[in-house]
Amino acid sequence: MKVLSRLITRAFALLACVLCAGPVSSQQPPIKIGFGMALSGGLAGGGKAALLTYQIWQEEINARGGLLGRKVEFVYYDDQSNPATVPGVYSKLMDIDKVDVIISGYGTVPIVAAMPVVMGRKKTFLAFYALDANAQFKYDRYFTMQPSGPNPQSEFSVGYFELAAALTPKPQTVAIVGADAEFGQIAMAGAREHAKKHGFKIVYDQSYPPATVDFTSIVRSIKVLNPDLVYISSYPPDTAGMLRATYEVGLTAKMIGGGMVGLQFAALKQQFGYQLNNVVCYDYYAPEPTMKFPGVDDFLVKYRARAAAAGVDVLGLYIPPFAYAQMQILEETVKAVGGVDDAKMADYLHKTTFKTIVGDIKFGQYGEWETARIITVQYQDIKGNDVQQFKESGKQVILHPANYKSGDLKVPFTPTKQ
């Protein structure tokens, strides 16, 4: 009887130990990661894709036992693609929600709007895509996933113009046209800089206002000048308008494209299909053999399985890999510094080369990538309008930089028939 009693006592003691041991980790408060994200408005296409990617990472990390043994929770608000809402969102995240870590939403304008609030609290700010957002602030705890390098204005169009300069015979004239908005203006300024450097005469240099409905007038004005090169920095609806007008007016040139936002997304790829052949454009990632980084294919399989149901870009080549890399960097940083101390995190972010699914990333002094990695691609061998073909290599051939090059430039651009 005594033996049985001792056994029962020990069993209860053991059970008590197990029960007590379990909740130790689960009773730790979660690590709260806060951000504003464009879930409506003009930037929502990118914002929702980034959010889905964050959620994929969150599920993975929590399944692995959390970050530092703590569950990861997201606190996020829709910034409506409106910079006016952003300071309020970040004040609430830091002062009321008391998040441990803040990251940014998608897009230059919301990120710039968040900067003063973030800087006021001395928070480390691992931002997503923003073109030269820290140029004025020079904030030493800012980091961006946009691979524009330390001189984003120049880097954005360097590939396009270096490729053009290498053509034989060398092009003489260039038309530059872009959206009258922050990104468009920065990209156009860079294009002018390169045109001057390579000795191209600028024969057309105009920006167009937001909500421009028809682009045929612009394209006709360019066609009359017969430039060798046409550099376009446009937003998605304008990209569609410019391409349609190019076909309608019959504009030809040695190279057309450059900074056309929208071609990176499945919707425009599918719509234009074969009409993209020989268009040259910037990009950040292309499924070419030279960019097969470890883990990227596995991630894209997971993302694509959920993309259609989430109503986001079904290819996920432009934003999701970099959003996932952002969370990989955050994960490594928090683990390495053993907490969420902003000064320690910023210090670690500055000194580390991160291994991610988009390759190695090292941040420079003001948070831009130490070395730019904007790629220049050319659409080649596109048949019909099937979006699935863009998952294959050989469709978005990388022309620049040399270390990622997967094919050769084809000239000229002529509107092709199906």
Return residues touching other proteins (CB under 8 A): 39-42, 44-45, 47-48, 81, 177, 180, 206-214, 216-218, 220-221, 224, 236-237, 240-241, 244-245, 247-250, 262, 265-268, 271, 310-313
Are 119 and 137 in contact, with CB atoms under 8 Å apart?
yes
As measured in angstroms, the least distance from the Cβ of 90 to other proteins is 22
As measured in angstroms, the least distance from the Cβ of 219 to other proteins is 10
Nearer to other proteins, 42 or 88 (CB): 42
Are 299 and 403 in contact, with CB atoms under 8 Å apart?
no
Nearer to other proteins, 115 or 174 (CB): 174
Nearer to other proteins, 126 or 181 (CB): 181
As measured in angstroms, the least distance from the Cβ of 267 to other proteins is 5
Tokens of 389: 């073909």
- Can you give the three-state secondary structure of the chain, one letter per residue? CHHHHHHHHHHHHHHHHHHHHHHHHHCCCCEEEEEEECCCCCCHHHHHHHHHHHHHHHHHHHHCCCECCECEEEEEEECCCCHHHHHHHHHHHHHCCCCCEEECCCCHHHHHHHHHHHHHCCCCEEECCCCCCCCCCCCCCEEECCCCCCCHHHHHHHHHHHHHHCCCCCCCEEEEEEECCHHHHHHHHHHHHHHHHHCCEEEEEEEECCCCCCCHHHHHHHHHHCCCEEEEEECHHHHHHHHHHHHHHCCCECEEEEEECCCCCHHHHHHHHHHHCCCEEEECCCCCHHHCCCCHHHHHHHHHHHHHHHCCCCCCCCCHHHHHHHHHHHHHHHHHHCCCCHHHHHHHHHHCEEEECCEEEEECCCCCECCCCCEEEEECCCCCCCHHHHHCCCCEEEEECHHHCCCCCCCCECCCCC
Nearer to other proteins, 81 or 124 (CB): 81
As measured in angstroms, the least distance from the Cβ of 408 to other proteins is 29
Nearer to other proteins, 39 or 296 (CB): 39
Nearer to other proteins, 240 or 279 (CB): 240
As measured in angstroms, the least distance from the Cβ of 30 to other proteins is 28
How many angstroms separate the first and last alpha carbons of the chain? 90
As measured in angstroms, the least distance from the Cβ of 246 to other proteins is 11
Nearer to other proteins, 223 or 400 (CB): 223
As measured in angstroms, the least distance from the Cβ of 152 to other proteins is 23
Nearer to other proteins, 216 or 389 (CB): 216
Are 262 and 281 in contact, with CB atoms under 8 Å apart?
no
As measured in angstroms, the least distance from the Cβ of 175 to other proteins is 13
Q: How far is CA 24 from CA 12, 28, 30, 110, 338, in A?
A: 19, 7, 12, 39, 18
As measured in angstroms, the least distance from the Cβ of 34 to other proteins is 22
Nearer to other proteins, 65 or 250 (CB): 250
| C-alpha to C-alpha distance for 380 and 255, rounded to whole angstroms | 13
Nearer to other proteins, 96 or 309 (CB): 309
Nearer to other proteins, 91 or 271 (CB): 271
As measured in angstroms, the least distance from the Cβ of 212 to other proteins is 6
As measured in angstroms, the least distance from the Cβ of 70 to other proteins is 32
| C-alpha to C-alpha distance for 414 and 185, rounded to whole angstroms | 27
